[in-house]
Amino acid sequence: MWVRFAAVLFALPAAAALAEGHAVAVKVGALGLGAEYTHEINDRIAVRGGIYGSNLGFDAEESGIDYEFDIVWDSIVAGVDFHPLKTALRLSAGLIKNDNRLEGESRPSGNVTIGDTVYTPSQAGTLRGTTTFDDTAKYLGVGWDWSRDKRIFGMSFDLGLVDQGNANVTLRGNGSLFGNPSFEQDIDAEERELEAEFDDFDIVPYVTLGFVFRF
């Protein structure tokens, strides 16, 4: 992923790289770790693109089953910034190529209820699930790019909302009942139950902090 972003940067014409109104930034926040490129069209309008990645693991119980979860950030962002006062303040809007997802795995040590049926660990096996959202998400935000004042190096801060659509859960078990119609029906019911629990993540807030270099 980082190689792709570097390739984009190096593909910029040399003349553009030496011109004013260009910036690169390293970002960290609710979208993961990322790198961005910004080009200012004029004192008020700028276009910005970036790539984000990384992951975070944690344990949690969902629908009565203990899972080991990984949040996987994997996205490409493109948007427009509007500086209404020609200052650090900016209003932002854009699109995200959204490959962000939640991956979960459960290895039951005791009986578990899947759908409305109780299964033994050997019957259920290891449960693996993936939660995804819309391939393309929209975002709106407000932020501050203080490198505009410094003109060489500065910091940025952004916050806003991402509209990523409804959750789509895929769940599989590899136990002795794998492929059994009744078991698969219960797996489908568990998927719907998990989707309902993740319903509140259709619109999520984001906050990012950046270190910006202008050239």
- CATH number of the domain where residue 188 is located: 2.40.160.170
Rounded-to-10 torsion of CA 141, 207, 161, 148: 10
pLDDT at 18 (0 to 100): 33
pLDDT at 62 (0 to 100): 87
Q: Could you state, in chain order, the average pLDDT of each consecutive group of 10 residues for the chain (215 residues)? A: 44 40 94 95 96 94 91 96 96 97 94 93 95 97 91 93 96 94 95 90 94 94
Structural domain including 193 reads: 2-214
Provide the b/e sequence for 175-207 (b: ≥16 CB within 10 Å).
bebeeeeebeebbebbbebbeeebeeeeebeee
pLDDT at 204 (0 to 100): 93
* CA gap 192, 182 in Å, rounded: 16
- Classify strands 127-132 and 168-173 as parallel, antiparallel or unpaired: antiparallel
Q: Which residue has the tokens 């993961």?
A: 32
For the chain, how many structural domains are there in total? 1
